[in-house]
């Protein structure tokens, strides 16, 4: 399973799977995972690119409960207006003039992060690895790169318009214009809906990492787990440490209570960390070793809630009503 999450608008759980024999599919559950239905249609290119994997399914605007978006590999954005029964390519992005700068990253060439802006009608964000952050202000009819201030040290031009390797992009649900991204080349914050980015990596032991989580109530609080480098994609020094900022990235504090601090050479993949909307927030993440950790107090103390699972690809949170 590549990805799974609950659509808070409808209570439907969506999941995306990829199998070497059975291929790529989207699954739906109306009873919190007790039973599943496989959708007949999967978002895909009509040409020989097809689809290798579905990386994310995102809920559409709050007022349109049947609207869904899907990000796929090879990188593309697709939309459904009928609960996933049919999908159409968002050609304004998938055929953008800058797609010739997109290239496969370590994982693949994928569109992995999709966010509907809760503050501005018609505004959407997507992130491509490697391609960069794109924003639409008209419901997907047109798209514009939004990467000013972000480094791409792996390219000859280290400050390009596009071609950036974004690892995770999140929009804050309460502060208009506030975004965070974990990039191949650092952690960044935007206060103007992506028009410009400010690097906030200086207090971290490494600029490389994948996961990112936010405090839904406090836009100045974010969580990351740095990894050694793009060549050594495991925790820094074999210590599993979550770093938290409470001042929008001006400083970061290590959180280690309950986390292994010796020989924990694990990695965390881009969708393997999540937070809830409680106060303080619960923080949850899974590792390549199949361990899932949780904190009920904003990261002050962690404990293991599952062990020796397969490699964890996706973690999401559902609060019981």
Alpha helices in the chain, H assignment, sequence order: 91-94
* Average of per-residue pLDDT across 274-300: 97
The pLDDT-based confidence of 230 (bands split at 50, 70, 90) is confident
- Is pLDDT of 57 > 70? yes
Q: What is the mean pLDDT of residues 283-312?
A: 97
Q: What is the mean pLDDT of the chain?
A: 95
Q: Which domains does the chain have, with CATH numbers?
A: 3-275 (2.130.10.10)
Least confident of 18-22, 84-88, 236-240: 18-22
Calculate mean pLDDT across residues 129-145.
97
Q: Which two tokens stand for residue 28?
A: 């739906």
Please give the pLDDT value at position 321.
Answer: 61
Model confidence over 165-181: pLDDT tens digits? 999 999 999 999 999 99
Report the distance separating Cα 287 and Cα 173, nearest Å. Answer: 26
The per-residue pLDDT for 154 is 93
DSSP H or E run through 3: strand 3-6
**C-alpha dist (Å) from residue 219 to 50, 62, 171, 177:** 38, 21, 10, 10
Q: Is 237 helix (H, G, I), strand (E, B) or coil?
A: helix
**What is the secondary structure of 131-190 as a DSSP string?**
BEEEEESSTTSS-EE--TT---TTSSSSS-SS-B-EEEEEE-SSSTT-EEEEETTEEEEE
pLDDT tens column, 59-118: 998 888 899 999 999 999 999 999 999 999 999 999 999 999 999 987 789 999 999 999
Q: What is the pLDDT of residue 216?
A: 96
% the chain with pLDDT above 70: 99
């Amino acid at each position: 399973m590549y990805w799974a999450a609950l659509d808070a608008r409808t209570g439907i759980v969506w999941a995306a799977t990829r199998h070497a024999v059975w291929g790529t599919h989207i699954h739906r559950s109306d009873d919190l995972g007790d039973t599943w239905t496989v959708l007949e249609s999967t978002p895909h290119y009509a040409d020989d690119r097809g689809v290798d994997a579905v990386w994310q399914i995102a809920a559409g605007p709050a007022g349109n409960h049947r609207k869904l978006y899907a990000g796929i590999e090879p990188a593309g954005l697709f939309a459904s207006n009928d609960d996933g029964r049919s999908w159409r390519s968002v050609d304004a992005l998938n055929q953008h003039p800058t797609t010739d700068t997109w290239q496969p990253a370590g994982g693949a060439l994928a569109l992995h992060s999709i966010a509907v802006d809760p503050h501005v009608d018609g505004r959407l964000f997507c992130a491509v690895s490697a391609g960069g952050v794109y924003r639409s202000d008209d419901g997907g009819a047109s798209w514009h790169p939004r990467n000013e201030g972000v480094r791409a040290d792996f390219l000859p031009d280290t400050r390009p318009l596009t071609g950036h390797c974004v690892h995770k992009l999140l929009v804050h649900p309460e502060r208009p214009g506030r975004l965070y991204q974990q990039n191949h080349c650092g952690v960044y914050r935007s206060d103007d809906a992506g028009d410009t980015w400010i690097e906030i990596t200086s207090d971290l032991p490494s600029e490389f990492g994948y996961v990112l989580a936010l405090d839904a109530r406090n836009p100045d609080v974010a969580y990351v787990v740095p990894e050694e480098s793009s060549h050594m994609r495991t925790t820094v020094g074999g210590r599993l440490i979550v770093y938290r900022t409470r001042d929008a990235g001006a400083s970061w504090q290590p959180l280690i209570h309950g986390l292994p601090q010796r020989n924990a050479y694990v990695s965390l993949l881009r969708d393997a960390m999540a937070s809830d909307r409680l106060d303080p927030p619960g923080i949850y993440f899974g590792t390549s070793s199949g361990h899932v950790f949780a904190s009920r107090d904003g990261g002050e103390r962690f404990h293991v809630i599952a062990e020796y699972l397969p490699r964890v690809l996706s973690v999401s949170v559902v609060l019981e009503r």
